[in-house]
């Protein structure tokens, strides 16, 4: 259901942009950060369903997954999501799905053992591009 | 002609829509740690709910959240199609990072703290509220700046200080930041001014002088009340509301006309001037 809330937010936001800037939306691209742990096809289906009957109905919808890159600020090592989430239980993974920064609460750097991560890429869902024909 | 817009933060649109359903936002600020902001914020939220108003409490102290503890909440926020539903305790909808971190340390950078605050504001489904009380962290760093940027148009602040030169010197900076950021200050509260069991022994407080210095309202003094500490230790909000601390806070809020003012306000009115 978290997915639905975000997808509604995305569509509403793009509609606000088109109302403000004028013209019509040719395409828009949504990037799903790996930490959000969303299914790409589900997000695309929700977007296609919810644009029906709106000014975005004929826009090209693109959805991409962005692999996570996490830097340990203590030892400068870089990690992917799987390496950091592997030791965690399902409840902890669920918390990180909502708030990826909680990685610092639950995970440890495999290199130095500390928890001072910064998420460089793949944090959550974002609108990477909206292309307007004005 | 084609135009591309990139790196758009759609959460700002979500936050804007959620704020449209909130009448007033009160930032409980200080800049100084340990002045009792969280106790004031939680007690104020529960007192306001007891007055019959719909109230939310957002704990933005990312590194040391305490609202869930004070209210004795152990349940996770539930989720529905509109977002995350804050647990309700003593009539207050409470959202705090501690509900997710479950007692673990939260060592996030400033960038991470900004993301957390925006995410909580975008995802939390408060519904219609008369008041959203925001407990802010010590300092004038990323969290407070994010709150000023995101909530600024609707927010006003109650500033909490202690009656010490050290506290006043820190709080003064926060007041300056708030005023230059065009966040109206509803008033200054002086906490831990006197012992509840002894009573007041001074005429003019340092908090009052500070308020005078900036031409803002002085709301009054709150006592050091060991019974309030015991109630918090016991996670017992009903007992906290019976203490001299809470009764004094209620008297000061009523005297300030905070409740009356907002009862007559319509949605989307500007902040209190």
* Interface-testing mutation among B9, B13, B111, with chain A (most A C-beta atoms within 10 A): B13
DSSP state of A3: H
Average pLDDT over residues A63-74: 96
Query: Rounded to an integer, what distance in angstroms lies between the CA atom of residue A7 and that of residue A17?
Result: 15
Q: How far apart are the CA of A86 and the nearest CA of chain B, in angstroms?
A: 18
* Interface-testing mutation among A2, A4, A5, with chain B (most B C-beta atoms within 10 A): A5
Query: Rounded to an integer, what distance in angstroms lies between the CA atom of residue A118 and that of residue B109?
Result: 7
pLDDT, position A53:
95
Pairwise CB contact (< 8 Å): B111 & A118: yes
pLDDT, position A27:
97
Query: Rounded to an integer, what distance in angstroms lies between the CA atom of residue A51 and that of residue B75?
Result: 35
Domain region containing A57: 2-67+124-133
**pLDDT tens track for B226-251:** 999 999 999 999 999 999 999 999 99
pLDDT, position A1:
61
pLDDT, position B149:
95
Please tell me whether residues A78 and A88 are part of one structural domain: yes
Concatenated DSSP letters of chain B = -EEEEEEE-THHHHHHHHHTTEEEEEEEE-SSTTSSHHHHHHHHHHHHHHTT--EEEEE--SSS--HHHHHT--SPPEEETTEEEPPEETTEEEEETHHHHTT------HHHHHHHHHHHHHHB---SEEEEEEEPPSSSSHHHHHHHHHHTTTEEEEEEE-SSHHHHHHHHHHHHHHHHTT--EEEEEEEEEEETTT----SS-HHHHHHHHHT--EEEEEEE-HHHHHHHHTT-HHHHTTSHHHHHHHHHHHHTTHHHHHHTPPTT-----
Q: Are strands A117-121 and A69-72 parallel, antiparallel or unpaired?
A: antiparallel
**pLDDT tens track for B172-211:** 999 999 999 999 999 999 999 999 888 887 777 999 999 9
Pairwise CB contact (< 8 Å): A5 & B9: no
pLDDT, position B7:
78
Pairwise CB contact (< 8 Å): B10 & A14: yes
Please tell me whether residues A25 and A63 are part of one structural domain: yes
Q: What is the pTM of this model?
A: 0.93
Please tell me whether residues A62 and A92 are part of one structural domain: no
Please tell me whether residues A58 and A76 are part of one structural domain: no
Degrees, nearest 5: CA angle B50-B51-B53: 95
Please tell me whether residues A37 and A9 are part of one structural domain: yes
Please tell me whether residues A8 and A55 are part of one structural domain: yes
Please tell me whether residues A61 and A103 are part of one structural domain: no
Query: Rounded to an integer, what distance in angstroms lies between the CA atom of residue B119 and that of residue B111?
Result: 12
Domains of chain B: 16-255 (3.40.50.300)
Closest residue of A to B119, CA-based? Answer: A99
Pairwise CB contact (< 8 Å): B1 & A104: no
Query: Under 8 Å CB-to-CB from B125, ≥6 apart: which residues?
Result: B18, B80, B82, B83, B84, B85, B86
- Which residue matches tokens 């529905």? B80
Pairwise CB contact (< 8 Å): B8 & A16: no
Query: Rounded to an integer, what distance in angstroms lies between the CA atom of residue B235 and that of residue B102?
Result: 16
pLDDT, position B263:
37
Please tell me whether residues A57 and A109 are part of one structural domain: no
**pLDDT tens track for B129-175:** 999 999 999 999 999 999 999 998 889 999 999 999 999 999 999 99
Q: How far apart are the CA of A107 and the nearest CA of chain B, in angstroms?
A: 11
- Number of A/B CB contacts below 8 angstroms equals 107
Pairwise CB contact (< 8 Å): B14 & A13: yes
Contacts of B107 in chain A (CB under 8 A): 104-105, 115-116
φ and ψ at residue B63, rounded to 5 degrees: -85, -20
Query: Rounded to an integer, what distance in angstroms lies between the CA atom of residue B242 and that of residue A54?
Result: 54
Q: How far apart are the CA of B9 and the nearest CA of chain A, in angstroms?
A: 7
Query: Under 8 Å CB-to-CB from B265, ≥6 apart: which residues?
Result: B23, B24
Mean of the per-residue pLDDT values for chain B? 92
Contacts of A129 in chain B (CB under 8 A): 4-6
Closest residue of A to B3, CA-based? Answer: A132
Q: Residue B261's pLDDT band (boundaries 50, 70, 90)?
A: low
Give the number of domains in chain A. Answer: 2
Please tell me whether residues A63 and A13 are part of one structural domain: yes
Please tell me whether residues A59 and A74 are part of one structural domain: no
Please tell me whether residues A10 and A50 are part of one structural domain: yes
Please tell me whether residues A58 and A80 are part of one structural domain: no
What CATH number has the domain bearing residue A50?
Answer: 3.30.2320.50
Closest residue of A to B80, CA-based? Answer: A1
Facing B108 at nearest CB: one of A104, A124, A129: A104
DSSP state of A54: S
B residues 119..148 contacting A (CB < 8 A) = 119-120, 122-123
Phi-psi region of B188 (alpha: psi -120 to 50; beta: other; left: phi over 0): beta
Q: Which two tokens stand for residue B164?
A: 């010490």
Facing B81 at nearest CB: one of A4, A130, A133: A4
B97 touches chain A (CB under 8 A): yes
């Amino acid at each position: 259901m978290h997915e639905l809330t975000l997808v509604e937010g995305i569509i509403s936001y793009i509609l606000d942009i088109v109302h403000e800037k004028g013209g019509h939306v040719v395409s828009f691209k949504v990037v799903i950060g790996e930490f959000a742990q969303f299914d790409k096809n589900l997000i695309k289906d929700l977007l296609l369903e919810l644009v029906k009957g709106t000014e975005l109905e004929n826009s090209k919808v693109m959805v991409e997954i962005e692999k996570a890159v996490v830097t340990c600020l203590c030892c400068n090592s870089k990690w992917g999501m799987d390496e950091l989430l592997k030791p965690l239980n399902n409840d902890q993974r669920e918390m990180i799905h909502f708030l990826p920064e909680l990685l610092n609460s639950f995970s440890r750097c495999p290199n130095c053992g500390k928890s001072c991560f910064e998420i460089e890429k793949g944090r959550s869902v974002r609108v990477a591009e909206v292309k307007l024909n004005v | 002609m084609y135009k591309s817009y990139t790196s758009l933060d759609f959460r700002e649109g979500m936050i804007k829509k959620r704020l449209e359903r909130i009448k007033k936002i009160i930032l409980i600020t200080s800049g100084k740690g340990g002045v009792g902001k969280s106790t004031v914020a939680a007690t104020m939220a529960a007192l306001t709910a007891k007055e019959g108003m719909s109230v939310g409490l957002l704990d933005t102290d990312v590194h040391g959240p305490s609202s869930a503890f004070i209210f004795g909440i152990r349940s996770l926020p539930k989720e529905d199609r509109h977002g995350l539903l804050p647990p309700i305790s003593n009539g207050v909808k409470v959202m705090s990072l501690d509900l997710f971190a479950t007692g673990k340390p939260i060592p996030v950078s400033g960038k991470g703290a900004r993301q957390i605050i925006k995410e909580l504001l975008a995802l939390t489904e408060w519904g219609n509220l008369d008041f959203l009380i925001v407990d802010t962290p010590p300092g004038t760093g990323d969290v407070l700046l994010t709150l000023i940027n995101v909530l600024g148009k609707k927010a006003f602040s109650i500033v909490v200080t202690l009656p010490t030169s050290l506290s006043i010197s820190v709080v003064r900076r926060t007041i300056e930041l708030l005023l230059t950021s065009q966040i109206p200050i509803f008033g200054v509260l002086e906490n831990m001014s006197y012992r509840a069991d002894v009573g007041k022994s001074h005429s003019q407080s340092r908090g009052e002088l500070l308020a005078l210095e900036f031409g803002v309202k002085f709301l009054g003094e709150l006592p050091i009340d060991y019974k309030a500490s015991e109630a918090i230790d016991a996670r017992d909000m009903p007992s906290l509301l019976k203490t001299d601390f809470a009764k004094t806070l209620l008297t000061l809020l009523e005297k300030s006309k905070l409740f009356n003012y907002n009862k007559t306000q319509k949605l989307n009115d500007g902040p209190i001037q």
